[in-house]
Amino acid sequence: MTVRLGLIGTGTVGGGCLDILRNHKDEFRRHYGVDLEVVRVCSREPEVARSFGFADVFTSDYREVVTDPNVDLVIELIGGTTVAHDAVCEALRNGKAVVTANKALMATAGEEVFSLAEEHGVEVAFEASVGGGIPIIDPLKHSLIANRISKVMGIVNGTTNYMLTRMDEEGASYEEALADAQARGFAEADPSADVDGLDAAAKIAILSSIAFNSRVNLSDVHAEGIRNITTTDLQTARDMGYCVKLMAIGHRTDDGVDVRVHPTMIPLSHQMAKVNGVYNAIYVVGDAVGETMFFGEGAGAGPAASAVMGDVLEVARHIETGVTSFVGCTCTDSLPIVPMDDLETKYYIRFPVADRPGVLASMAGIFADFGVSIYSVVQRGQKEAGTVEVVYVTHVARERDIRAVVAKIASLDDVLHSEPSIIRVED
């Protein structure tokens, strides 16, 4: 049987998909009995379509793809939540299955997308939206479905992981690491989505929705990035037996779903501490399976296109046999989102302060005023410069109390007016 594809977007991932089809089309037919035929290609770059031999089916208008009666399955690879939203929703309304790599769309409009797919009896697949080539969506929806998942935690942004690795291993500053990531094509000219944790927030919203069978939107995720992390933080963490990673965390608690993205200290003995460079890893804990970890390259033409084409083949087989997804939207529970203020964990806090008598006593008194117990305090830096870095590690404390402590200490005359570094500790 021939399943006819309409591709919207021929950038890095779209070109990778066309490469896979060109190289493996005959194998797909022989192994899986599915003949994939590209009948429409939409792009702002007609020369890409021509280079792959699709000039005769090229269009610059996505509507010509999603309304074409000859298209069975639409592959959306343009990203964003504007044109991509319209393209995906219109394709579903026209009874076409959709494969997408669009994390922002699924994290903000997933409920609408799934409702349209169910209403029109078609399938939506989005493996490439999280973790690039790492299989994680499908395992959560199939292989691990017999488990009650208690935690999903991941390094899901390769750009920030590369930057933190360079800062940790080579002593590069944040600015140097960012410039290097941009030069290598890992970071955009505007790196905000990566370094401010927004990319990771969209991904953990998707993973948490599936893992906990409860709708988690991007707006539900507390997100902090790595702009305030310094080599001092990384060296201090290492001296304490930890490393610092930008972690995306979803946790099922008695009170609901705790979902957040922020720099996190994790023990050097943990498997996640060994995930360096542009690699991603996702750690899942289930009541039956125990601890599992999925590891691999999280971005790039090959890994992302691999995940997209895996979805295309699976959905094409369903089209061939006349079935829709075996496991569609599972967000049947309505668990509350736990407020960030209620988080309880250990904290690492670094303040730049004037090197004068009485400063530490004043700061310690503020911790005591808000009931925050100090585990350790370390002074770093050279006294000759007139300023030092004071690093506190607390026992388990509540987020709202830590925020109150930080605000009060920041108002002291002897505390320099740069934003303190706050890193949560996951043991």
Is 188 assigned a ligand-binding role in the annotation? Answer: yes
pLDDT for residue 292 is more than 80 = yes
Percent of the chain with pLDDT over 70: 98
Which positions are catalytic? 203
Q: Are 247 and 235 in contact (CB under 8 A)?
A: no
Is 12 assigned a ligand-binding role in the annotation? Answer: yes
Mean per-residue pLDDT, 283-310: 92
pLDDT category of residue 201 using cuts at 50, 70 and 90: very high
Mean per-residue pLDDT, 328-340: 88
pLDDT for residue 411 is more than 80 = yes
Is 302 assigned a ligand-binding role in the annotation? Answer: no
Q: Are 245 and 273 in contact (CB under 8 A)?
A: yes
CATH superfamily of 343-425: ACT domain (3.30.70.260)
Is 98 assigned a ligand-binding role in the annotation? Answer: no
Is 15 assigned a ligand-binding role in the annotation? Answer: yes
Is 11 assigned a ligand-binding role in the annotation? Answer: yes
DSSP summary character for residue 299? S
**CATH class of the domain comprising 2-130+301-321:** alpha beta
Instruction: Tell me the one-letter amino acid at 339.
Output: P
In Å, how far from its chain's centre is CA 391?
A: 29
In Å, how far from its chain's centre is CA 208?
A: 11
Query: CA nearest 133: which of 314, 312, 309, 304?
Result: 304
Each residue's pLDDT tens digit, 266-287: 999 999 999 999 999 999 999 9
pLDDT category of residue 329 using cuts at 50, 70 and 90: confident
The count of other CB atoms within 10 Å of the CB of residue 48 is: 18
E-only strand ranges, 9-44:
35-42
Mean per-residue pLDDT, 206-231: 96
Query: Model pTM?
Result: 0.93
Is 42 in a helix, a strand, or coil? Answer: strand
pLDDT, position 427: 86
The number of CA neighbours under 13 Å toward the Cβ of 62 is: 20
pLDDT for residue 150 is more than 80 = yes
Is 239 in a helix, a strand, or coil? Answer: helix
Is 13 assigned a ligand-binding role in the annotation? Answer: yes
pLDDT, position 379: 87
Mean per-residue pLDDT, 145-158: 96
pLDDT category of residue 382 using cuts at 50, 70 and 90: low
pLDDT category of residue 323 using cuts at 50, 70 and 90: confident
pLDDT for residue 258 is more than 70 = yes
Mean per-residue pLDDT, 79-89: 96
Mean per-residue pLDDT, 86-106: 97
pLDDT for residue 86 is more than 90 = yes
The number of CA neighbours under 13 Å toward the Cβ of 406 is: 23
Q: Which residues pair with 289 in a beta bridge?
A: none
Cβ contacts of 56 within 8 Å, gap of 6 or more: none
Is 38 assigned a ligand-binding role in the annotation? Answer: no
Separation between Cα atoms, residue 347 and residue 352, nearest integer Å: 17
- Answer with the residue of higher pLDDT: 107 or 46: 107
Mean per-residue pLDDT, 336-346: 97
Extract the tokens encoding 133.
């080539």
Each residue's pLDDT tens digit, 67-83: 999 999 999 999 999 99
pLDDT, position 322: 86
Any idea which architecture 137-297 has in CATH?
2-Layer Sandwich (3.30)
Cβ contacts of 122 within 8 Å, gap of 6 or more: 92, 95, 96, 97, 98, 324
Is 103 assigned a ligand-binding role in the annotation? Answer: yes
Is 328 assigned a ligand-binding role in the annotation? Answer: no
Separation between Cα atoms, residue 130 and residue 282, nearest integer Å: 10
pLDDT, position 23: 94
pLDDT, position 333: 86
Extract the tokens encoding 357.
């008598």
- Alpha helix stretches (DSSP H) within 121-224: 137-138, 158-170, 174-183, 192-195, 198-211
Separation between Cα atoms, residue 71 and residue 91, nearest integer Å: 10
In Å, how far from its chain's centre is CA 52?
A: 31
Query: Domain extents for the chain?
Result: 2-130+301-321, 137-297, 343-425
pLDDT category of residue 316 using cuts at 50, 70 and 90: very high
In Å, what is the CA distance from 376 to each residue of 7, 194, 236, 319?
A: 56, 32, 12, 60
pLDDT, position 384: 57
Instruction: Tell me the one-letter amino acid at 367.
Output: F
pLDDT, position 294: 96
Tell me what the pLDDT averaged over the chain comes to. 93
Extract the tokens encoding 179.
């410039």
Cβ contacts of 394 within 8 Å, gap of 6 or more: 346, 347, 349, 367, 372, 373, 374, 375, 402
Instruction: Answer whether 137-297 and 343-425 agree in fold.
Output: no
- Answer with the residue of higher pLDDT: 323 or 364: 364
